[in-house]
Structure 1
Amino acid sequence: MNHISRFAKRLSWLSAVFLIVLVAGCGGSSDNVSNGGDQPASAPGGTQDTTRPAVSAAVPAPGATGVGVTTKIAVTFSKDMNPATISASSFTVSGPGATPIAGTVNYTVGSRAAVFTSTNASLPAGTVLTATITTAAKDVSGNALQNNFVWSFTTAAAPDVTPPTVSLSVPAAGATNAALNTHIAATFSEDMDPSTITATSFTLTGPGGAPVAGTVSYAAGAKSAIFTPTTPAVLSAATAYTATITTAAKDLSGNALVSKFVWTFTTGTTTDTTPPSIVSANPANGVTGVCTNKSVNVTFSEAMDPSTITGATLTVAASNTPATFLSGTVAYDVPSKVATFTATSPFAANTSYNATVTTGVKDLAGNALASASVTTFTTNSSLCTTAPALGGAQPFGSFGGNASVTNAGLNSVIHGDLGVNAASTKITGLTDSSGTHFTTTTSNNGLVTGLVYTLTAPANSVPGLAVTQASLDATTAFNSLSPASLPGGINVSSLAQCPSCGGAGGGADELAGRTLPPGVYLSSTGTFDIGGVGRTTANLTLDAGGDANAVWVFQTAAGTGTLNVGLTGPATPAVPIQVLLVNGAQAKNVFWYVPAGAVIGTGSTMTGTMLANASITLSTVGGTPPTAVITTLNGRAIALTAAVTMVNTVINLPSQ
């Protein structure tokens, strides 16, 4: 990356305040920036604050589908806002069409977050809704948004009842030698209600349970809560601390953590004074031929403070108008340390752009980036491959189409909803979060953390509507991934087509041992196998190259193609097969088109959404409790017209 030009060097009294306008609005147009504001206040030292605020993150995300009807709508801003200007008149939601939805709006100061709550119990089901933040929203200095920020999303047919979980913590549980000046962060499995992330629901204690004073904020773009010690600003040396997130923390549908999350770490004896650095950028500096709907990604050298990665610190502008920033949202993926800017509208074709990261970004010890950086890239007129919209199928970890879903064993957990477009008698060996049992026995009883939906309306569900819509939307997604709808897939056995695939492949096992960049991949034999009897036992690694929105589509032959991963049988293979994600790759962006079905072997770790017209089987009997072998799917198993069968299987629904 190049050092930023003299434009960034003129920044003065506070590194977190920058000359930025994130031009927001339906259509994504951008205007020349005016530094004017509405009676702006003076900053410390007499400097006038004329920087306009911007919307950094929107939840649900622009274009999202399958949004639970009980979901609240939230945005976060790049600056502290004047709460009096964040109201039901400056933050509105409408739909169908321009029909206004009555609601209340609350602003959480520490998180710079505004939340819209429908006055009714739920939003309209199966409807495109439009949310708007108007220019009446102003920061504490009186500066207004440059333009209205407008985005749309589509609701599902049912509410979201899946409780959130804590998926990652920094410092990690059991960590030692934590820096004395570290902030404490926890990342959730889904978007949370910022008003429930407080100094009451997120606490830190020292020896003897003594509370540590601190402030708590929530970064929506990272699904993360951050605890910042205040008095003193550093923790004690060589001391064990306990962090706790209580069940008062709730997602945007009002679902609380099932139980409080507690972890302990120990400090070292020194503070962290090393500034973070940028490891890579995607697109890389000087790259040409970038597709117009590409996201801009930056990978950092260490864990960052998510609250500092905003629309003010990660910006994109056309190179010929560097002070006019594009409208977009900013996210930060905690596990991969990747920050992502997604433009509201596609980039202009054959145009040069600058992506800028300012010194306002900081690590969790409060160290700022040593110097601001810029990368320049040039677009062509192409479009990147995007993930298909799953619509009503999005909340389902497992879906049996018109057939059945059957579980054997006591260790299966489906984190999400489960359903069949059939009678409730087609569900076997499972209990959902409402306490409804579906043909369970003392040896076959798995847990669905959401609800089970069928045509005959089990407890707390809507008769037929949710599963019928899910079936239709899953079929649409399945067809969109076919070779006929998405031609031009890369043959991984051809070095000419795939020079970065790690050598020439061959036979059904051609994915084993490979590391694949994003793309659409087809099988030369019509099927995909990764390990198995008489085949190479080696993992498949998907490398995003720092692109958090990178997409993989694996196509088997239309009508007859199958997928087999690992071995099935009564015992775990010596080397269970794994489909691994690296450098920003995300499970939500991996798709498998397998018309004739899939078999995921015992003890394997599978990744991505599998869409099939035939049955999907996850594991076979692999021991008995407490030594049962667990097979994991980080994705979804969706069989459109056939059964899903699982044995001691954990399904982790991808975070959207």
Structure 2
Amino acid sequence: MNKGRIGTASIVGMLLVLFLTGCGQEAINLPDTTRPTVVSTTPAQGATGVSVTTVPTATFSKAMNSATINATTFTLAGPGGAVVAGTVSYAATGSIATFVPAANLATSTTYVATITTGAQDAASPSNSLLANYVWTFTTSPAATVIVPTVTGSNPANGATGVALATAFNATFSTAMNASTLNANTFKLTGPGGVVVPGTIAYTATGSVATFTPLLPLATNTTYVATITTGAQSQAGVALANNFVSTFTTVPPATVPVPPVVVSTIPLNGATGVPLNQTLSAVFSNVMNPATLNTTTFRLTSSAGTAITGTVGYVAGGNTATFTPSAALLPSTTYVATITTGAQDTTGTPLAALYQWAFRTVPAPTPPTVISTTPANNAAGVPVNQSILATFSEAMNPTTINGTSFTLTAPGGVVVAGTVSYLATGSIATFAPAENLAISTTYVATITTGAQDLLGIGMANNYVWTFTTAATSDTTKPTVISTIPANGATGVAFNTAVTATFSEAMDPSTITAASFTVTGPGTTPVAGSVTYAAVGNTATFTPTVNLVPGTLFTGTITTVASDLAGNTLAVNYVWTFTTGAAPDTTPPTITQTNPVSGATGVALTQTISATFSEAMDPLTITTATFKLATAGGDAVAGTVSYDALSFIATFTPSSSLEGGTSYLATVTGAKDLAGNALAGGTIPNPWNFATGAVVVPPPVNLGTASLFGGFGGGAGMTNQGTETVVNGNIGTTAVSTLITGFHDNTPNCIYTETPLNVGLVNGSIDTAPPPPTVGCPNEGTAVTSAIAAQAAADALTAYNALVAFPNGLDVSTCPGCGGGSAGELGNRVLAPGIYKSAPGSFDITQGDLTLDAQGDPNAFWVFQMATTFGVGTPSVSRSVLLVNGAQAKNVFWQVGTAATINGIVGGGTLQGTVISQAGTAVSTAGVVAVTTINGRLLVLSGPVTLVNTVINVPAP
């Protein structure tokens, strides 16, 4: 009886185990616990007669963590355990570790190679080799040089009817150095020598190199495969001659309409994507579910690391899904790929490989507003401008609407307008239905109804105010810088491409249609386009690395427009050439303001960090740039980024507290190649303590801020054909006192001659009458009122500059080279207020340098009771800005008149000049172009320009 009971219980138990094992089998997602092994080596175990120039390699059974393949885990030793010096590298393609001896090995000697258990796979730190792997080999009595050759190829030389999805294989006579088989040594070209983009892999077993095109080849086309003598064996011996093979693809055939991807989640270029996001792609055709799997639907990080996950298919919606096995990493760019292995139910493959990219959220925290345009408390805002707010992460577009984003006039009157949201940049836009009222303060609000993709709303309403000007913005935007710069060579082939504009842009006009990169020639480069309002910067991020050693062309078209609807005047085009190496150098912080340990810091201080190189502006947010008290209380604020000086700035929402210690931190910011910020000699985090002083801000120009030139009641005159004013000009006098100019309005010409032609890339505001019959909207009562308001605002600003206290007397300068008592040449001046005891300032003995010391909000005021002169009769002089100094923060208050390089022309002046009696630039007949990055405002007298370019700074 006992035996019977025991047997029955055992059977029941086994059945229960089997039942429980079967139930939920599909719900268990076990981690990868398989340990890696070494599957092959070169030289093989026990090999003899090995060349003294051999390079030992080990091929693993799976992808390894490259950081664990190093000189500690991969060693080579000679007789008696003598360590052989050398370098260790790891090639992800093929999972091959390589040991390159620093010098030739000794002849007739036995060596011991070892891979230790410190070598780990890419899945988990616990997956290491089970035991050290050791093999030996013996070198030959004398060095043997074996010249490698290509012994065969597939397709064979001269083959025809080759399939369009064919990869080209080449088999070598001896083991090769995988690192020498790359895009420079192994190429596939089509007609005209056009390089076919693709990937290159090397398999040690069989010594086979494979070139796989990224896209299907063209039909009925002859291709040429070339392997150059740059390809070397593991012994460092090159091919004797270039290997060249040709083949011709199949002729075109009538095929069904191939499926295409019509939409994705997340959108291409989306930022702030949740870490638990499931990806989906909707197809145009009903798909064969069996062809949608982890081979045809893949996800990788920007570093190329494959993300494991499961792939599903929803037949009713023609939708494929990819669910990552684990949460994605924060602040990381991912690339999703659907290959042409995906087929519809007729067996027709996807028309082309489809890829899209997105960036994950920095952290699962409530979204915040990190930047606005206009900024809080901004003045002189054009009445026809849209309003922008940039969020810290991707938002739910349905929650960004007229209820969560509002604009109100005095008295709480709601302004009618349209609200839109752009995923690429996480930017909300409020476009007023009609122009705003002049000289009026408005309140913009983003409510807690605005939610991110996880349904998390803003913690508090975000409110900011601004005051309008008396006029519209009619100035066309320009591209002021690009990275890479025009004509740059040796550019890292893994970089993104950026263009920075002269003012805030309408983000909906910055797209893959208006910002393109092509190369070689007119071949489009696949990529995503984003716009960062924090720095007025558009970024083109290639889907895959650019081709090394290739000329590329960047283009911004006239579709790109500012927030007032003004487009670029012409397409902006620049070129650059890639080099042979990627950018793997992490950025560092080279300067902070305040410096670490500073005391007595002003309560209105902004916090800034200068980087060693250009940064990805989308990584400059309040999540990566933080300010807190020493007690850990976070300080609310907004961020901005200057793409010209590489300076990020944190602006507190309110004044800092007096006598308080603060800690600033920058983490997670990346450069344009995706390299994360690293530590350097500058402390990060850095601390400082406030004093009890509030530093007065730069003077408010009001509506005069929109003018590049203003001639008081005496007008403006241009002489020459190279004059361009990127801003407005005006006078309180009649239109006939504006001569030698025209604006963007057809037929509106202000007394031009063939020798005196000047373009105003903005508006011209004067008192009546109109200059010609063809422009009835100029020289009117409206433009007269605008000019009158600008004159009044200029006078207010002038008086404020005169009243600025505690000006430092710099009327003498020992060692500056002589000159007048108010000589500023050959000086380097820190931010501050400067006065001249003699009453005048000159820049004649050399250039003047203004050093912001890493603070982009630093400002300078130069007070003079009489004249201001720049340049000598024989040499032009300039004002130079360094370490974040900006022209918009430089002011010259001139008691009488200013003369800018009045004899020879040329040179560059930075800042706004407000003079009483007049300002003249250069002399009639001088062809050298003088540049003014600022404004020339005169209260009573005239402004005279000769071949002058004026660039009005953005607010």
5 Å matches for 1:347-496?
Answer: 347-358=656-667, 360-371=668-679, 373-435=684-746, 436-456=748-768, 458=770, 459=775, 460-461=777-778, 462-482=782-802, 485-493=803-811
**1:617 paired to 2:617:** no
Residues 457, 463 of structure 1: 8 Å contact kept? no
Give the 3 Å change call, closer, same or farther, for CA 178–282 of structure 1 in structure 2. Answer: same
Match of 1:135 in 2: 448
Distance 1:334 1:448 in 2: 26
5 Å matches for 1:8-47?
Answer: 44-45=326-327
Match of 1:187 in 2: 500
User: What is the Cα-based RMSD across aligned positions, in Å?
Assistant: 2.2
Structure 1 residue 401, shift from structure 2 partner: 1.3
Any idea what SS the aligned residue of 2:722 has? coil
Residues 743, 760 of structure 2: 8 Å contact kept? yes
Aligned partner of 1:336 among 645, 656, 659: 645
Per-residue CA shift, 1:359-402, capped at 9, x if unaligned? x2110111111259211111111112321111110110000111
Distance 1:438 1:423 in 2: 11
Match of 2:847 in 1: 539
Residues 79, 139 of structure 1: 8 Å contact kept? yes
Structure 1 residue 648, shift from structure 2 partner: 1.0
Residues 609, 638 of structure 1: 8 Å contact kept? yes
| Percent identity over paired residues | 49
What amino acid is the match of 2:922?
A: S
What amino acid is the match of 1:126?
A: S
Residues 311, 330 of structure 1: 8 Å contact kept? yes
Aligned partner of 2:881 among 581, 600, 607: 581
Distance 1:369 1:631 in 2: 39
Q: Name stretches of at least 5 consecutive residues in structure 2 with no aligned partner.
A: 1-270, 275-323, 331-362
Distance 1:357 1:208 in 2: 40
Match of 1:23 in 2: none
5 Å matches for 1:38-437?
Answer: 44-45=326-327, 50-120=364-434, 122-230=435-543, 233-320=544-631, 322=632, 324-358=633-667, 360-371=668-679, 373-435=684-746, 436-437=748-749
Match of 2:911 in 1: 608
Structure 1 residue 506, shift from structure 2 partner: 8.0
Structure 1 residue 311, shift from structure 2 partner: 1.5
What amino acid is the match of 1:318?
A: T
Distance 1:434 1:279 in 2: 47
Any idea what SS the aligned residue of 1:599 has? strand
Residues 810, 822 of structure 2: 8 Å contact kept? no
**Hey, which of these two has a bigger chunk of strand by percent?**
2
Any idea what SS the aligned residue of 2:379 has? coil
Per-residue CA shift, 1:400-426, capped at 9, x if unaligned? 111111111111111100000111111
Per-residue CA shift, 1:110-130, capped at 9, x if unaligned? 11000001122x111111111
Distance 2:660 2:815 in 1: 33
Structure 1 residue 562, shift from structure 2 partner: 1.1
Give the 3 Å change call, closer, same or farther, for CA 364–95 of structure 1 in structure 2. Answer: same
Per-residue CA shift, 1:526-560, capped at 9, x if unaligned? 100111xxxxx201000000000000000012xxx
5 Å matches for 1:485-634?
Answer: 485-493=803-811, 507-531=820-844, 537-557=845-865, 561-567=866-872, 573=874, 575-601=875-901, 602-623=905-926, 628-634=927-933
Match of 1:39 in 2: none
What amino acid is the match of 1:107?
A: Y
Residues 812, 823 of structure 2: 8 Å contact kept? no
Give the 3 Å change call, closer, same or farther, for CA 218–184 of structure 1 in structure 2. Answer: same
Per-residue CA shift, 1:138-179, capped at 9, x if unaligned? 111222222111111111111101110101000011111111
Per-residue CA shift, 1:30-60, capped at 9, x if unaligned? xxxxxxxxxxxx9953999641111111001
Per-residue CA shift, 1:200-237, capped at 9, x if unaligned? 1101111231111111000111110000011xx21111
Match of 1:35 in 2: none
What amino acid is the match of 2:376?
A: P
Structure 1 residue 591, shift from structure 2 partner: 0.1
Any idea what SS the aligned residue of 2:717 has? strand
Structure 1 residue 291, shift from structure 2 partner: 0.4
Any idea what SS the aligned residue of 2:899 has? strand
Any idea what SS the aligned residue of 2:599 has? coil
Structure 1 residue 507, shift from structure 2 partner: 3.9
Residues 812, 821 of structure 2: 8 Å contact kept? no
Distance 1:593 1:167 in 2: 27
Structure 1 residue 631, shift from structure 2 partner: 1.4
Give the 3 Å change call, closer, same or farther, for CA 291–503 of structure 1 in structure 2. Answer: farther
Give the 3 Å change call, closer, same or farther, for CA 50–345 of structure 1 in structure 2. Answer: same
What amino acid is the match of 1:272?
A: D
Structure 1 residue 629, shift from structure 2 partner: 1.1
Q: Name stretches of at least 5 consecutive residues in structure 1 with no aligned partner.
A: 1-14, 19-41, 496-500, 532-536
Any idea what SS the aligned residue of 1:191 has? coil
Distance 1:604 1:226 in 2: 32
Residues 57, 329 of structure 1: 8 Å contact kept? yes
Residues 104, 117 of structure 1: 8 Å contact kept? yes
Any idea what SS the aligned residue of 1:464 has? helix
Of the two, which has the highest radius of gyration? Answer: 2
Any idea what SS the aligned residue of 2:789 has? helix
Per-residue CA shift, 1:450-499, capped at 9, x if unaligned? 111112274445332211111111111000000xx21210112479xxxx
Q: Which has the higher contact order (CA 8 A, sep 6+)?
A: 1
Per-residue CA shift, 1:48-80, capped at 9, x if unaligned? 964111111100111211111110000111111
Structure 1 residue 503, shift from structure 2 partner: 7.4
Aligned length: 590
Per-residue CA shift, 1:603-628, capped at 9, x if unaligned? 232111011111111111243xxxx1
Give the 3 Å change call, closer, same or farther, for CA 220–47 of structure 1 in structure 2. Answer: closer
Give the 3 Å change call, closer, same or farther, for CA 354–137 of structure 1 in structure 2. Answer: same
What amino acid is the match of 1:539?
A: D
Match of 2:92 in 1: none
Distance 2:589 2:640 in 1: 16
Structure 1 residue 584, shift from structure 2 partner: 0.2
Distance 2:951 2:769 in 1: 24
Distance 2:832 2:938 in 1: 24
Match of 2:935 in 1: 636
Match of 1:6 in 2: none
Structure 1 residue 285, shift from structure 2 partner: 0.5
Structure 1 residue 505, shift from structure 2 partner: 8.4
Residues 888, 954 of structure 2: 8 Å contact kept? yes
Give the 3 Å change call, closer, same or farther, for CA 457–634 of structure 1 in structure 2. Answer: farther
What amino acid is the match of 1:179?
A: A
